[in-house]
Amino acid sequence: MTDANMLSSRYNQLTMERFHAMVAGREFSRLQGLWLGAIGRRTPFENLDDWVDEESQWRIRDPASWDALQLDITGLSQAYGITRWHVLWSIFVRDYDPTLQKLVAHPDFLPLRKKCLEVFGLGRLFPNSCVFRRWYRQVLGRVPEEWKAMGPQVSTLAQEFEARPMQMLKALLIRSYDPLGTTSLLFPLDAWDPKPRLVVLGPIPALLEDLVRLGCQQGMYVEYHGSSVQDESIAESRRNFRISLEIPLEYPPDLAVQAARWALRTGRDMLRGVGFSQKQRVHKSNPVSSVKATLKGRDCKPGLLDALRTCCQQEGRLDIELDGGNASGSDLRVGTPLSTVRLAAGVPPRCGE
């Protein structure tokens, strides 16, 4: 495993610890009981597909109740730094495991699981690997003919995910079995996962739509800040563009450096793709071209906010901004002191790596 993958894996483990802490918390249990009761259920749905069907009907049936649910989901999301969709799904889906979403989202996985259960005459998934192994030893040597025909399908799916066929068979027949590891998350678990953006400043550039299109291809947001200036000249591109990256404070420094380098390279490629030249490097002494670092906080408690401001003043090179929310509430759901604070770095495209 490469150093980058090892760092990502360790950080994913950290965010998974936050996820499990959220699920084990009293507030999560209260909200789960409240909202399951609101739709006439005492237990969560067996799988994500069943919940998605209920979700689409709920939005139409009772939009006011749905909006109230979103407020509670947002509260937990902000408190633990977990993305809203993972909070929502963990409330309504039994034994929900974020690490399995890449596999479950594959179009062949659920149909193949259903077929395996039918072929082996199983009424439900095995709860753990121990029960699966006992069952497997019993059926070994008397595999039905239908399974021999399905074997290649399992092997093909396993090869696609770089897993062994036996691992994929376990994933098909064992509830919450993960053959891939936490580095294979399809949807980001961390609400404060680094968010790279190409920020467009000043007048509207003629090629904004092209930048957005390239951003969709590269996986980078394009954020536009308009101006009353009508000059659409692109001669001074360093004044019109910055590359922004928001980093959670608990993010590993080496991984943050890699994320910043990727954002800088990708932003430059996008600008070159629409005709900007980025050959020259800027001088650090130029205030227009310098890197700007800012601490951004959302719903910070007053004591924490005062402490951060003091630290920033002592550092002399950091500003602190409130990104929406407020700092006056005393009943804010904050799971960890710094879970709602992240570092925002604004870098000119010509800056050296």
Q: Which residue has the higher pLDDT, 144 or 258?
A: 258
Q: How far is CA 343 from CA 17, 300, 332, in A?
A: 22, 14, 21
Residue-wise pLDDT for 283-335, tens only, equals: 455 544 567 777 776 666 666 667 777 777 666 666 666 665 443 333 444 45
The answer to whether residue 92 scores a pLDDT higher than 90 is yes
Q: What is the pLDDT of residue 116?
A: 86
Q: What is the pLDDT of residue 301?
A: 66
Pair 176, 104: CB distance under 8 Å:
no
The answer to whether residue 154 scores a pLDDT higher than 60 is yes
Q: What is the pLDDT of residue 299?
A: 63
The answer to whether residue 179 scores a pLDDT higher than 60 is yes
**Beta strands 292-297; 341-347: pairing state:** antiparallel
Residue-wise pLDDT for 340-351, tens only, equals: 677 777 777 766
* Distance in angstroms (rounded) separating the CA atoms of residues 322 and 299: 8
| pLDDT mean over 175-191 | 62
Q: What is the pLDDT of residue 345?
A: 78
Q: What percent of the chain has pLDDT over 70?
A: 69
Cβ burial, residue 163 (10 Å; 0-12/13-18/19+): buried
* Distance in angstroms (rounded) separating the CA atoms of residues 268 and 247: 20
Q: What is the pLDDT of residue 20?
A: 87
Q: What is the pLDDT of residue 174?
A: 85
Q: What percent of the chain has pLDDT over 90?
A: 12
Q: How far is CA 309 from CA 81, 291, 315, in A?
A: 22, 20, 10
| pLDDT mean over 270-276 | 82
CB atoms within 10 A of CB 106: 15
The answer to whether residue 184 scores a pLDDT higher than 50 is no
* Distance in angstroms (rounded) separating the CA atoms of residues 196 and 48: 30
What is the residue extent of each domain of the chain?
Answer: 14-96, 102-184, 195-347
Q: Taking all residues of the chain, what is their mean pLDDT, rounded to a whole number?
A: 76
